[in-house]
Amino acid sequence: MRRFNLFLCFVFFLIGLLPLAAYCQDSAQPSSSGGDSLFMIFFLSGGSFLGILTTLPIVLLSFASTTLIIEHVMTLHRDKLVAPEIVVQLEEFIDKGQFEEAINLCESAKNFVTNTVGVALIKANEGEEAMIGAAESQIVEENTKLSHKISWLNLIGNIGPMLGLFGTVVGMVTAFTAIATTSDQPSPKQLAGGIYTALITTVWGLIVAMPSLTAYFIFKNRIQRIGLELTAISGELIERCKPGVHAK
């Protein structure tokens, strides 16, 4: 389901880029003054091979980051992670002492709460301590899954500036190479390719890093809050199991 959401977000993102692509196609035409277009400068780093080679990976990272942010905005909600009707149905089974039905529901509808309550119910015959231990271990695992879900944003946010710095170094090397290999004073046009690469890759690195890291910490706080809420719900359901288990 998560892969489908990512694919859907990426499709919507590409659709949103269509107006930009149309604009870029028009702007890619040489201007009457002979200067490079905005698309050539900003997206292709002046059109040089090294410029494209260093800029393209960062641009792709920005697309990936935007897709992940959209997907997380759509899915990182308590009701999305755990459907309320599943919790209500699970409460009904537990209150009626229908533990087999509750276990079957937990196995058929996998989420934070059902996974936690399910492992606790399976350990019911081993006693209360076994139930609590199994539930605590499962809660740690479920929180880890939620944290891993957003870890890609943290990775992208840290790699983006490093790729930008790499492009900056490549651009400066290109510019100084032009100076070193030119017998006379190099013209601005000879230095433009390296300067394009140095500055544009730096800009792209920051464009990738700032929203990615900001979104990562926002989602991290949201996940911590959701994790606490779902842990409380799971704990309450397990507490309801105890009298029934002892009576059984």
pLDDT tens for each residue of 50-99: 667 777 888 889 889 999 999 999 988 888 888 899 999 998 988 888 88
Domain assignment present for residue 26? The answer is no
Q: Which amino acid is at 142?
A: E
Burial class (CB in 10 A: 0-12, 13-18, 19+), 197: buried
Cα–Cα distance, 155 to 212 (Å, whole number): 9
Residue 50's nearest CA partner among 181, 200, 208 is 200
Give alpha helix (H) positions in the chain: 2-27, 38-42, 49-75, 78-81, 84-95, 99-108, 112-122, 128-180, 188-247
Domain assignment present for residue 72? The answer is yes
Domain assignment present for residue 23? The answer is no
Burial class (CB in 10 A: 0-12, 13-18, 19+), 199: middle
Residue 225: the pLDDT is 93
Kindly state the DSSP code that residue 32 receives in the 8-state scheme.
T
Domain assignment present for residue 34? The answer is no
Neighbour tally for 92: CB within 10 Å? 13
Domain assignment present for residue 24? The answer is no
CA separation, residue 185 to residues 35, 83, 174, 175 (Å): 22, 69, 15, 13
185-225 pLDDT, tens digit each: 766 666 666 777 778 888 888 989 999 999 999 999 999 99
Which residues have CB under 8 Å from 93's CB, separation 6+?
Answer: 99, 101, 102, 105
Domain assignment present for residue 9? The answer is no
Structural domains of the chain, count = 1
The whole domain housing 97 covers 42-247
Domain assignment present for residue 154? The answer is yes
Q: Map tokens 């809660």 to a residue.
A: 139
Domain assignment present for residue 62? The answer is yes
pTM: 0.73
